[in-house]
Copies of this chain bind each other. A is one copy, B any other.
Amino acid sequence: MGSHGIVLFAHGARDPRWAEPFERLAARLRAARGEPASSVSLAFLELMTPSLDTAVAAQVAAGCTRVTVVPVFFGQGGHIRRDLPQLVDACRAAHPGVEIRCATAVGEDDGVLDAIARYCLDQLDDGA
Contacts and interface: CB of A to CB of B under 8 A. Distances in A.
Contacts of A4: 124, 126, 128
Contact of A109 (B28, B32, B107, B115): B115
Given A112-B116, A117-B29, A17 B77 contact: yes
A119 to B, nearest CB: 5
Tell me the number of copies of this protein.
Answer: 2
Given A28-B114, A114-B115, 20 more contacts: A13-B75, A13-B78, A14-B77, A17-B75, A17-B77, A18-B75, A18-B78, A21-B107, A21-B113, A25-B116, A25-B120, A35-B128, A72-B116, A101-B123, A106-B119, A109-B115, A111-B119, A112-B112, A112-B116, A112-B119
